[in-house]
Copies of this chain bind each other. A is one copy, B any other.
Amino acid sequence: MPREITAFSNPLVKRVRNLREKRHRREEGLFIAEGLRILAEAEEAGHLPLYIFYTAEMENHMMVRRLAYACEAAGGEAIETNVDILHKLSGKDNPQTVLGVYAEFDTRLTTIDRSASGIWMVAQSLRDPGNLGTILRTGDAVGAGGLILLDECVDPFSVEAVRASMGALFTQSIAQATWAEFVPWLRAGPGQLVALSLRTDTDYRVPTYAAPTFLLVGNEARGLPSDYEDECDLHVKLPMRGKADSLNAAIATAVMAYQVLGQRD
């Protein structure tokens, strides 16, 4: 049976609201995902929420009932609430009518099974949560295995990143590591490390990519450190015909990933 919460002062409301801050996410090991479609995708990928919040009018929605039941059967809690509370929890003016609180995943490199896919995304010092989420979403679309975050990246469990991933956070593997941890891990098995770089003349359509291909993109403003580039097996660039001479990091990664996918077909 769902618990009903309509008071802003409820301690659980306060706890969940705090999960919009990284510090609280780390302390609790929890994060927020919004929207029925995304919660359903999470379930399909084997992730059930520890708490599921929904508005009264969603109570009889078949999928909500199923999720609430599964959540409770797994020891979680279903909570009927109202739009004002959901607004408070999500920070959105028009909040989704369903919201889940999930346990953060184990993001150690050792959780990555590189044989699971021929394409992997790797991002270094990525700062924008929208870019991170979009790269995950693109990874899902091209059938990548997941995203490896190197050095000081934005938090993949931030509300903005989860939102932009449109559920791909649950379908893609995610790891976080330093460059010093990543390189020995990479070299301990098969894998071609491909740098998206401005310091090469090799057009991205020229090489034949070897699987598993690890597509490495750098920080939005600075790109990759040059010693990181030195470690890469291949350096490619996208043609630039414009005046601004730059591409969004998520865009560059996507164009590359579709090129690799095209070669594999």
Contacts and interface: CB of A to CB of B under 8 A. Distances in A.
Contact of A242 (B134, B171, B241): B171
A12 interface: no
A38 to B, nearest CB: 9
Interface of A: 41, 44-45, 130, 134, 137-143, 164, 166-168, 171, 205, 238-248, 250-251, 254-255, 258, 261-262, 265
A140 B254 contact: no
A121 to B, nearest CB: 13
Contact of A138 (B45, B140, B248, B258): B248
B242 A140 contact: yes
Contacts of A238: 141, 258
B205 A171 contact: no
Contact of A243 (B140, B240, B242): B140
- Determine the main DSSP class of A at the interface with B: helix
A144 to B, nearest CB: 8
Given A238-B141, A238-B258, A250-B251, A167 B244 contact: yes
Contacts of A142: 239, 241-242
A250 B141 CA distance: 14
Given A41-B243, A130-B130, A141-B240, 20 more contacts: A44-B243, A45-B243, A137-B247, A137-B248, A138-B248, A140-B241, A140-B243, A140-B244, A141-B242, A141-B244, A143-B242, A166-B244, A168-B244, A171-B243, A171-B244, A205-B262, A239-B265, A247-B254, A251-B254, A254-B254
